[in-house]
C-alpha cells in the first residue's frame, strides 16, 4: 500500500509538471500569436507574467514531487524534496490569492484582455487553476506533515 501512495504521488507530480509545461507553452505561443489576434479581432492583448509565474511554480512543484517519490523509494533525502515542493505550491497559492484579491475572480481574463476579458469563461479558468493549486497545496503539505512526523 505504501508503494502505491508513492506511485500516485509520482503520477500527480508528473501531471502537475506537464500542466506547468502546458501553461508555459500557452504563454509563449500566445506571445507570438498576440499580434495576429490583435489585428484579426481588434483586441487589446496584454501579456502578463502572472501565468508564466504560476506555470513555473507548477513545474517546480511537480518536478520536486516526482523527485520526492524517487528519493523515497531509493531512501534518499525525501524530506528536502517534499519541503521544496511544499514551498513552491505555497508560493503559487499565495500569488494566486493576491491576484484574486486585487483583480477579482476573472483575473486571468483581465490580465490578458483588459476590460474585455471580464467574462464568465475567464472566471471558470481562474477557478480551475485555483482548485488545482489548492489541491496541490493540500497534497504537498499533507505529505510534508507525514514526513516530518516520521509516520510510515
- Sole residue written with cell 504563454: 27
Give CB contacts under 8 A, 24+ apart, made by 142-146: 143/9, 143/68, 143/82, 143/86, 144/82, 144/83, 144/85, 144/86
Q: pLDDT tens digit string along 12-21?
A: 999 999 999 9
Average pLDDT for residues 100-116, to the nearest whole number?
A: 85
Please check whether residue 140 is in contact with residue 61, taking contact to mean a CB–CB distance below 8 angstroms. yes
Write the DSSP string, 95-140.
HHHHHHHHH-TTHHHHHHHGGGG-SHHHHHHHHHHHHHHHHHHHHH
Of the pLDDT bands very low, low, confident and very high (cuts 50, 70, 90), residue 86 is: very high
Of the pLDDT bands very low, low, confident and very high (cuts 50, 70, 90), residue 1 is: very low
Percentage of residues in the chain having pLDDT higher than 70: 97
pTM, 2 dp: 0.88
Residue 120: what pLDDT?
A: 87
Of the pLDDT bands very low, low, confident and very high (cuts 50, 70, 90), residue 151 is: low
Please check whether residue 32 is in contact with residue 70, taking contact to mean a CB–CB distance below 8 angstroms. no
Percentage of residues in the chain having pLDDT higher than 90: 52
What value does the mean pLDDT of the chain take? Answer: 88
Residue 38: what pLDDT?
A: 74
Cα(138)–Cα(21) distance, rounded to whole angstroms? 21
Q: pLDDT tens digit string along 4-61?
A: 888 999 999 999 999 999 999 988 888 888 788 777 777 777 778 888 999 999 999 9
| Nine-digit cell string for 11 | 503520477
Amino acid at each position: 500500500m505504501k508503494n502505491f501512495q508513492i506511485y500516485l504521488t509520482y503520477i500527480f507530480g508528473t501531471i502537475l509538471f506537464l500542466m506547468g509545461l502546458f501553461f508555459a507553452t500557452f504563454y509563449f505561443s500566445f506571445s507570438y500569436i498576440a499580434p495576429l489576434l490583435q489585428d484579426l479581432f481588434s483586441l487589446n492583448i496584454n501579456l502578463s507574467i502572472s501565468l508564466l509565474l504560476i506555470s513555473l511554480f507548477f513545474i517546480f512543484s511537480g518536478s520536486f514531487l516526482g523527485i520526492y517519490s524517487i528519493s523515497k523509494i531509493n531512501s534518499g533525502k525525501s524530506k528536502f524534496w517534499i519541503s521544496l515542493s511544499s514551498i513552491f505550491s505555497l508560493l503559487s497559492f499565495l500569488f494566486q490569492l493576491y491576484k484574486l484579491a486585487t483583480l477579482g475572480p476573472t483575473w486571468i481574463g483581465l490580465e490578458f484582455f483588459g476590460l474585455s476579458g471580464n467574462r464568465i469563461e475567464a472566471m471558470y479558468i481562474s477557478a480551475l487553476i485555483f482548485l488545482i493549486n489548492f489541491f496541490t497545496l493540500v497534497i504537498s503539505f499533507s505529505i510534508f506533515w507525514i514526513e516530518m512526523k516520521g509516520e510510515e
